[in-house]
Amino acid sequence: MNLEQRDYGLADVELRSPGETGGNWHTFTGHAAVFNELSRPLYHPRIGEFRERIQPGAFRDVLEAKPDIHFCYDHDMGSAMASTRAGSLELTETQRGLKVWAKLNPDDVDVQRLLPKVRSGVAGQMSFKFVVGHDDLEERGTEVLRTINTFKLVPEVSVLPQGAYSGTDASIRSFLDDAIDLGRIGEERKDFSADKRKQLAKTGAAMPDGSFPIENTADLKNAIQAFGRAKDPAAAKAHIIKRARALGATGMLPDDWKAAARSLDTEGLEDRSQADDSLGLPNDVVSDEARRQAVARIHARVALNG
């Protein structure tokens, strides 16, 4: 069970004093999570950029189970000021997201510490811990998008100091490491920057959009694993086979790809032979660069001649 944490800026926060509530308590309302909003980009060294969003209805199952959820400050359970079991905390799904309503005892020292922080903006974030029930991972060019469809567990929601370090980034990185290791995400992006991808795309070591960069056999292995999530599987397969041939590593290809690789190898031999003949030199004295230029001229003539 992987317990994760996410933080959001305080949204629609409203504090009411005992005089306003007509009782002997303060009330706090706000949203701990927002639906269909892309999270800020997080860079992960093994895959590149990562974003996340929460689907409407994602909290329905966990809320219907009526768990005991606590309202805390900075994820400190010792500071719990309200709970669903005590009837002082209500969590509901709205069109916007997960709405929090808490009834707070003005005699509670943690409440006394919290309220001025919220009013002054010192405490300007909400956060919640959770276990995912079901999610989807999608690779979009140079970015991975996670859609959380359902939550299995939400033990607490918290108010945090504005700008405070939280466990969100560490939590996401831990989740992504697990997803990569389980094969849910291909690791083909590695440490390639946007500029590096453009450079590799120009040389043919990456696809035109910068995806599937393959400089060595480790990249080749990762690209093969990520192939199923390619936007254009046929183009990605052709690119991977081409790079495998260039690296002399066609043996790493899946068995059902090897026939295509052998066909391309034969084409390559014919191209090289024609190139050497066009240069009028024995095969063993033609440089690779001269051969590449000659092959390009041959292909250009073929294209012009239809």
Q: What average pLDDT does range 39-65 have in this prediction?
A: 84
DSSP class of residue 111? H
Q: Convert the pLDDT of each residue in 281-302 to its tens digit.
A: 455 545 555 555 555 555 455 4
- What is the Cα–Cα distance from 56 to 149, expressed in whole angstroms? 8
Residue 165 has pLDDT above 50, yes or no: no
Q: Convert the pLDDT of each residue in 79-133 to its tens digit.
A: 999 999 999 999 999 999 999 999 999 999 999 999 999 988 888 888 899 999 9
- What is the Cα–Cα distance from 289 to 7, expressed in whole angstroms? 54
Q: Report the range of poorest mean pLDDT among 106-110, 182-186, 202-206, 229-233.
A: 182-186
Token readout for 171 is: 């939590």
Mean pLDDT of the chain: 79
- What is the Cα–Cα distance from 264 to 257, expressed in whole angstroms? 11
User: Which residue from 33, 24, 28 is spatially nearest to 14, judged by alpha carbons?
Assistant: 28
155 near 69, Cβ under 8 Å?
yes
Q: What average pLDDT does range 241-260 have in this prediction?
A: 87
Sequence letter at residue 270: E
User: Which residue from 219, 271, 255, 256 is spatially nearest to 240, judged by alpha carbons?
Assistant: 219
Q: How far is CA 157 from CA 96, 127, 141, 246, in A?
A: 17, 6, 34, 53
Instruction: Name the more confident of 81 and 212.
Output: 81
Residue spans of beta strands (DSSP E) within the chain: 4-9, 11-16, 26-34, 42-44, 48-54, 70-73, 82-83, 89-93, 97-104, 125-140, 143-160
Residue 228 has pLDDT above 80, yes or no: no
DSSP class of residue 58? T
Which pLDDT does position 266 carry in this prediction?
Answer: 45
Q: What average pLDDT does range 49-70 have in this prediction?
A: 93
